[in-house]
Amino acid sequence: MAYGIGEVAARTGLSVHALRFYEREGLFVGPIVRDPGGRRVYSDGDIGWVELCARLRETGMPLEVIRKYADLVRDGVGNEPERLALLREHQERIESQMQALSVGLSMISYKVRVYEKRLAEGTAAALWSSSTSSSGD
Binding site for DNA (CB under 7 A): 4-7, 15-18, 20-21, 24, 34, 36-40, 57, 62-64
> 102 contacts which partner out of DNA, a copy of itself, none, CB within 5 to 8 A by kind?
a copy of itself
CA 88 to mean position of chain CA atoms: 17
- Report how far Cα 135 is from the mean position of its chain's Cα atoms: 36
Sheet containing 40-43: order of strands: 2-3, 40-43, 33-34
Answer yes or no whether residue 136 interacts with a copy of itself by CB under 8 A.
yes
Dist CA 54 CA 105 (whole Å)? 24
- Contact of 14 with 50, CB cutoff 8 Å: yes
- Judged by the rule CB under 8 A, the positions of this chain that interact with a copy of itself are 29, 45, 48-49, 52, 55-56, 58-59, 73, 77, 80-81, 83-84, 87-88, 90-91, 94-95, 97-98, 100-105, 107-109, 111-112, 115-116, 118-119, 122, 130, 132-133, 136-137
